[in-house]
Amino acid sequence: MALTDLPLEELWAYRPEVAEPEGFGDFWAKTLAEARASAAGPAEYRRLTNSPLRTVDAYDVRFSGWGGQPVAAWLLLPRAVSGPLPAVVSYIGYSGGRGLHTEQLLWSAAGYAHLVVDSRGQGHATPDPDPVPEPQYYRGLMTRGIDSPEHYYYRRLMTDCVRAVDALREHPAVDPDRVIVSGASQGGGLALATAGLAGDAVAAALIDVPFLCHFRRGAECATLGPYPEIVAYLSEHTRTDPAPVFRTLAHFDGLHFAPRATAPALFSVGLMDPVCPPSTVFAAYHRYAGQKDLTVWEFGDHGGGRGSQPEEQLRWLAGRGLEGGGS
């Protein structure tokens, strides 16, 4: 892996001027209001009585997301600590879902309630039943509904992510004032979007090597991962004006959620990341309105700090009074 983006000193100075799309705030206020109004009821939690875990109670969860549609999640609660607990909401990387509940034990082991959110159309437990306007373009999700912000796939997924925070804050084992959003890659971009959209409902954000930031730069620089899907679409449809495509994408760009986010945030970046170019991460970081820190992994690829980053996160949260273990 090679250094394929700007040198670190230039990244610290990289602050591109990217205009927010007209009506951005109203678009998202309407989207979330409609989702909340269409909710089918409170979240449902079914305890897994056959789980092999002995120190964690696991629940199969369904909550109302976009259009009132059911979204799957796992809730993991540590047995050894009393509530109300600080809670972590985890969003998943591109093409992945919530997986198995036994794969997600870090946060409950550290004394947090942990909600692992499935990604509609990516995970196995949550379909994306909304009809996609024809014609459908390039394979993958990056161009699904790209003809308009109203139809774009990430409108539905980002709405699900905010609604996950709504649902978890109502759980009796959770302290609603200590809900943390987290994720890496796509999950990091979703955590950033949720921090910007959910406001005071988010106490902190853990944003690792985030995707969905500075789309134009990502399409121009990334050599691996989802951004090349946009390039392939524009390449294959040579008569398509790219401007409307990027106007749609602007409604889902972390650069426009970041100025609305006020919760403290810990970002991370790998300087040799070919999937989410470091300049896209720095651009979002610089625009983030809340108190923020950035862990730079000089020789990190898209894995960032890998197994070292969770320890960074736990220490960072403890330094802000958000350690696990109950109140």
Residue 302 is among the residues annotated as catalytic for this protein? yes
Catalytic annotation, pick one of 118, 175, 208, 273: 273
* b/e burial code for range 240-263 (CB count within 10 A of at least 16 → b): eeeeebbebbbbbbbbbbbebbeb
Residue 90 is among the residues annotated as catalytic for this protein? no
219 — phi, psi (to 5°)? -65, -35
SS3 category, 157: helix
| Other beta carbons less than 10 A from residue 39's beta carbon | 16
> Measured between alpha carbons, how far is residue 298 from residues 62, 67, 95, 292, 315 in Å?
40, 42, 26, 19, 20
Catalytic annotation, pick one of 214, 251, 256, 302: 302
d(CA 221, CA 273): 10
Catalytic annotation, pick one of 182, 185, 268, 279: 185
Residue 273 is among the residues annotated as catalytic for this protein? yes
Please report, to the nearest 10 degrees, the dihedral formed by the alpha carbons of residues 290, 196, 15, 233 taken in order. 160
Catalytic residues: 185, 273, 302
